[in-house]
Amino acid sequence: MGRIFMITLEGRAYSCKHCFTHLALLDDIISKSFHCGHGKAYLFDKV
């Protein structure tokens, strides 16, 4: 089972929904239409 991630209110960084650790920047997204074994996912260049 994967972790759930959400966008911060500022919208500039993605962070963990549970511990709020910043994981990636908005500019690092390669694709929002990526799919993995667990369903819909975002593909990042750097995390």
The model scores a pTM over 0.85:
no
Task: Quickly state the pLDDT bin for 1 (edges 50, 70, 90).
Answer: low
pLDDT at position 14, please?
84
| CB 14, CB 41: distance < 8 Å | no
**How many domains is the chain partitioned into structurally?**
1
How far apart (Å, rounded) are the C-alpha atoms in residues 17 and 44?
17
Longest dimension (CA), the chain: 30
Q: Position 46: which residue type?
A: K
Range of the domain at 36: 5-44
| Sign of the torsion angle spanned by Cα atoms 37, 27, 5, 47 | positive
Q: What's the pLDDT tens digit per position in 7-46?
A: 555 667 888 889 888 888 888 889 988 888 888 888 888 8
Can you give the pLDDT at residue 11? Answer: 60
